[in-house]
Amino acid sequence: MLVLGIESSCDETAAAVVANGERICASVVASQILTHEKYGGVVPELASREHLRAIEPVVDEACQQAEVKLRDVDAIAVTEGPGLIGSLLVGLVYGKTLALSLDKPLVGVNHLEGHIHAVVLQNKTDRAAGKVVAEASLPAVTLVVSGGHTSLFHVASSAMNAEQKPFHYRQLGRTRDDAAGEAFDKVAKLLALGYPGGPFIDKLSRYGNPHAVDFGRINMRGNPLDFSFSGLKTAVLYQVRGTELAREAEARRTWRRTLDKPALDELRGQCSQSTLDLIASFQRAAVQDLVERTLAAAEGLHVDNVFVTGGVACNSLLREQFVDRCGREGRQIFFPSPALSTDNAAMIAAAGYYKLLAGQRAGVSLTAHASFPLDVEQN
Ligand code: KG4
Ligand code: ZN
């Protein structure tokens, strides 16, 4: 079954063709980084406009790369939420229109469910390519960590029942304020490192001392599997405000305007050792919190498989720490490749495939939801 996936929940317009939920025939992502860069964050109105411009060429490109015509596709899967409403509507209406005009089945996919399926898709792709990797089987404790989300789920496969729910999701915790990626991006914006900030912080942290600033542990009242990153972000602000680091950041901001894309070494050359130490210490505190809460959930639920997905899953320290801790605790850790960790449509097509297999179909009433919890009620 060839599924065309469409994703437009935030600032990437993406289309992909995936065969049988396991073989990526094409995956095309049009990024809007250049549009939003000067604002240091996604501007919703601009994002919708860019999606409108990109959706048709991106879908065409995916079909061309997969060497299929739209009429050869067996079904269409489209992100229905959560996300920016204007952005979501562009992909959703496009997908719905294709499905209606070509008379193909349509299914709506939760963006978070897509991120979770990216792990399974990666694992299937690796195994099909002959890589010796364990099977990413369920149940799994899953951390979805990106610019918009930081949530923990217990994911299980459910025996097909009357409601035909192929996967069973139970939310264990969520961020109460900023998503982890948002904190990375805001700290990078404060220090004028570049946009989006996560990859810059990741790379520059290698040159800093992660123990230079002790941010302490993040304490959570109530559910210990919830997250909170706004306090850590504010603690970084207090380290910077009114100090030499702030003046240095302003100088860097001016310098950055003169360059399109500075090389990492050039950017590093514009950062004092104190700035690099602060960046590395922030990253360590954020990563430690993500790793500890996720593994506490796995331990509490006696689950041996851990999935980590979403844009922040690209972070090298996060990967290192999860691999190290899981190795010592006898758990299996699974990540998608970086390209499948950040927003893409292959994950939407893969998640949609299982829903289609289970007989789920969306009608013309399918609509976008800015907020769209992923749990057993909905799936
Ligand atoms: O999954 P994604 O593409 O979009 C959302 O659904 O939010 O994630 C984007 C986020 C951004 O906040 C970006 O800074 C972060 O992922 N990110 C990283 C890294 N690569 C991307 N954060 C930390 N380290 C990275 N290497
Ligand atoms: Zn995402």
pLDDT tens digits along 150-198:
999 999 986 554 455 678 999 999 999 999 999 999 999 999 999 999 9
Residue 106, pLDDT above cutoff 50: yes
Ligand 1: residue of 312, 337, 341 to mutate (most ligand atoms within 8 A of CB) is 312
| Whether the Cβ atoms of residue 201 and residue 184 lie closer than 8 Å to each other | yes
pLDDT digits over 344-373, tens only?
Answer: 999 999 999 999 999 999 999 999 999 999
Pocket test for ligand 1, best of 193, 314, 337 (most atoms within 8 A of CB): 314
pLDDT at position 379 = 41
Ligand 1 proximity of 108 Cβ (cutoff 6 Å): no
Q: Which helix (H) or strand (E) holds 23?
A: strand 23-31
Please give the structure tokens belonging to residue 35.
Answer: 């549009």
Whose atoms come closest to the Cα of 112: which ligand? 2
Q: How far is CA 226 from CA 118, 149, 153, 180, 295, in A?
A: 23, 12, 11, 12, 13
pLDDT at residue 271 is higher than 80:
yes
Please identify, by atom number, the ligand 1 atom nearest to the C-alpha of residue 145.
1
Ligand 1: which of 37, 143, 146, 233 to mutate, most ligand atoms within 8 Å of CB?
146
* Distance of alpha carbon 322 from alpha carbon 315, whole angstroms: 11
Say if CB 343 and CB 10 are below 8 A apart: yes
- In short, whether 83's Cβ falls inside 6 Å of ligand 1 is no
Mean pLDDT in residue range 228-232 = 98
Give the pLDDT of residue 370. 95
CA-342 nearest atom, ligand 1: 3
215: CB partners within 8 A, 6+ apart: 232, 235, 281, 282, 285
Residue nearest to atom 16 of ligand 1 (CA): 311
Taking Cα atoms as reference points, which of 109, 114, 124, 121 lies closest to residue 144?
A: 114
CA distance 314 to 326: 17
Please list all protein residues whose beta carbon sits less than 5 angstroms from ligand 2, which is an ion: 146, 343
Q: Does residue 105 line the site of ligand 1, with CB under 6 A?
A: no
- Distance from Cα 237 to the centre of ligand 2, integer Å: 26
Domains of the chain: 2-174+338-357 (3.30.420.40), 180-302 (3.30.420.40)
Whole-number mean pLDDT of the chain? 95
173 DSSP β-pair partners? 152
- For residues 248 and 74, give the distance between their C-alpha atoms in angstroms, rounded to a whole number: 55
Distances (CA, A) of 193 to 19, 269, 287, 326, 371: 40, 12, 19, 32, 30
**65 backbone dihedrals φ, ψ, rounded to 5°:** -65, -35
pLDDT confidence band for 225 (50 / 70 / 90): very high
Alpha-carbon span 11 to 281, nearest angstrom = 29
161 CA to centre of ligand 2 in angstroms: 29
Report the nearest-CA residue for atom 14 of ligand 1.
Answer: 198
Output the pLDDT for position 26.
Answer: 98
Residue nearest to ligand 1 atom 3, measured at CA: 342
The position carrying tokens 């302490």 is 216
At residue 356, what is the residue type?
L
Classified as helix, coil or strand, 348 is helix
Q: Using a 6 Å cutoff on CB, does residue 311 contact ligand 1?
A: yes
- Cis ω on the peptide bond leading into residue 224 (within 30° of 0)? no
What pLDDT, on the 0 to 100 scale, is given for residue 164? 54
Which of 7-16, 39-48, 193-202 shows the lowest mean pLDDT across its residues? 39-48
Distance 146 CA to ligand 2 centre (A): 6
- Of the pLDDT bands very low, low, confident and very high (cuts 50, 70, 90), residue 260 is confident
310 CB near ligand 1 (under 6 Å): yes
DSSP state at residue 350: H
Question: Over 90: is that where the pLDDT of 288 sits?
Answer: yes
* Sheet of 75-81, strands arranged across: 23-31, 12-19, 2-7, 75-81, 106-110
Q: Is residue 315 lining ligand 1, measured as CB closer than 6 Å?
A: yes
39 pLDDT tier (thresholds 50, 70, 90): confident
Give the list of residues 6+ apart from residue 19 with CB closer than 8 angstroms, or none: 1, 2, 3, 25
What is the C-alpha separation between 145 and 141, in angstroms, rounded? 13
Please work out whether the CB of residue 11 comes within 6 Å of at least one atom of ligand 1.
no
User: What is the pLDDT, as a whole number, of residue 366?
Assistant: 96
Q: From the alpha carbon of 185, which atom of ligand 1 is closest?
A: 14
Q: Is 142 in the pocket of ligand 1 (CB under 6 A)?
A: no
User: What does the DSSP assignment read for 185-254?
Assistant: HHHHHHTT--SSHHHHHHHHHTTS-TTSS---PPP-SS-TT-B--HHHHHHHHHHHTTSHHHHHHHHHHH
Ligand 1: atom nearest CA of 111 is 6
Task: State how beta strands 150-157 and 140-145 pair.
Answer: antiparallel
Ligand 1 pocket, residue 113 CB under 6 Å: no
Task: With a cut of 70, say whether residue 274 has pLDDT above it.
Answer: yes
Mean pLDDT within 290-299: 98
DSSP string, 267-301: HHHTS-HHHHHHHHHHHHHHHHHHHHHHHHHHHHH
Task: Express as a percent the part of the chain with pLDDT over 90.
Answer: 90
> Percentage of the chain with pLDDT > 70?
97
- Of the listed ligands, the closest to the CA of 47 is 1
pLDDT at residue 158 in the model: 67
Closest to 339 in 3D by CA, of 40, 26, 56: 26
- Please determine, for residue 307, whether its predicted confidence score (pLDDT) is greater than 60: yes
Q: How far apart are CA 94 and CA 363, in angstroms?
A: 14
